[in-house]
Structure formats: structure tokens, C-alpha cells
Amino acid sequence: MRKFRVTVDGKTYEVEVEELGGKKALPKTAAAMPAEINPAPMAAPAPQPARAPESVQSNEPKGNDNVGASITGAGTPVEAPVTGQIIRVEVKPGEAVEEGQVLLILEAMKMENEVTAPISGTVGQIAVNSGQTVTVGAAMLFIKP
């Protein structure tokens, strides 16, 4: 038996797995039974440095001077929690937001996920548009405290 720590949807579980050789197999009754999962205590996540998006796009109409502008000092990044497609952006640059307020809707695996503000502040640069696909950890917008 080998022990592994697995994280699913932000919850960490400790599981034991039996390695089977080429000739050994589980009995059919055991293979059909779900494995028992015991949640392990979660450690606090390590702080991650802010990452800039590869290509910066504004949610503003074309012709806006800040499209492609540098994002240095743009505030706290709101990163994509999963890979998915932006369904809609609920805020605009300069808008005041409260911690927990819905900023945008991200579709992943046919589920709509609300991405909320991690802090209260003012929306700075928006680096995504509706219909755009983002990967885990991509900075989607910034909030200035």
C-alpha cells in the first residue's frame, strides 16, 4: 500500500492505493466498491507571486489608450481558479467593489463559476473579455485597494 495526498476542488484527502502487478487483479466485488477517502488537515496555501497575463487586453472598446498598457502596480490580481471560458464580466474599470462581490462568470466543465473579489477596492485593469479562454492562475483583472 502507498499513501498519497490528493487535492480535489480545494479539499485535500489522504488516500491509500494498492499497486497491482500485471497478473494480480482485484476481485470484481472489490473493484466495484468505492474507495474510502479520509480528509487530511489542510495546510495554509503558500503565497504566490502575482503573474501578469501573457497578452493584456482591456474590456474597454477598441481605441482605448490603455489597451496593452503595462500592468505594473495594477493592484491585486484576481486569478483564474480553473481553466475555462469567460462567460461575462460583471464589473468595469474604475468601479468600486466589495470583498466577495461577483466580478465575472467563468465556465469550466459545463459549470458556471462565480469569481469574487478577494478584497474591497476599485477595479483596475481588466485583462480578459467575454468568450476568452483562460488557464489556471491567469490574471483576469486587478483590484486596487
Q: Could you give the CA distance from residue 47 to residue 115 in angstroms, rounded to a whole number?
A: 19
SS3 80: coil
Number of CB atoms found within 10 A of residue 127's CB: 24
pLDDT at 101 (0 to 100) = 95
Position 36 confidence tier, pLDDT thresholds 50, 70, 90: low
| Average pLDDT of the chain, as a whole number | 75
pLDDT at 130 (0 to 100) = 94
Biggest distance spanned by C-alpha atoms of the chain: 66
Could you tell me the three cell numbers for 123? 477595479
pLDDT at 11 (0 to 100) = 83
Q: State the average pLDDT over residues 69-77.
A: 64
More confident residue, 49 or 72: 49
More confident residue, 75 or 35: 75
More confident residue, 90 or 42: 90
The angle at the Cα of 84, spanning 4 to 50, to the nearest 5 degrees, equals 75
Write down the residue that cell numbers 485593469 correspond to. 125
CA 52 to chain centre: 15
pLDDT at 45 (0 to 100) = 59
The angle at the Cα of 111, spanning 108 to 116, to the nearest 5 degrees, equals 80
Residues 6+ apart with CB under 8 A from 58: 64, 66, 67, 69, 93, 125, 126, 127
Q: Could you give the CA distance from residue 127 to residue 134 in angstroms, rounded to a whole number?
A: 10
pLDDT in tens, 98-114: 999 999 999 999 999 99
Q: State the average pLDDT over residues 60-81.
A: 58
